Homo-oligomer: A and B are copies of this chain.
């Protein structure tokens, strides 16, 4: 029998993110598709060599916004289950900054919800990142200022 959809898993964490925990959370017997997204720290941004990123969150509001995003997704796709976990603190190249998992009976809602979730997270969840560069400089990333040479992942 199809079990009821689990509540969203929403977390800001200070430790490495375990994708399998998100997948396990959203899965149940009625799920036929799980779409996930991982944001990872890459070594080059805007043509500069990145050595690491410090993430900072306004934690209670960030979790509230992530919860709101999950609720809106659930209203748009009935039966959707959602997990969104964002890491804060100092991350190195290859570290996972955010993980999203969306599960549904069918693949289109799972994939579309995953995509909608990451786009929404990037515009409304109060989290910031300071990129550190190989030359010793650093800057708070401001996606509202276009750089011409690239954009965040």
Contact = CB atoms under 8 A, between A and B. Distances in A.
A33 B121 CA distance: 14
A31 interface: yes
Copies of this chain present: 2
A89 to B, nearest CB: 18
Contact of A33 (B32, B40, B104, B106): B40
Contact of A111 (B43, B104, B106, B114): B114
Which of A32, A110, A115, A152 is the most central at the interface, judged by chain B CB atoms within 10 Å of its CB? A32
A44 B111 contact: no
Interface of A: 1-2, 19-20, 23, 27-45, 49, 93-94, 104-107, 110-111, 114-115, 118, 151-153
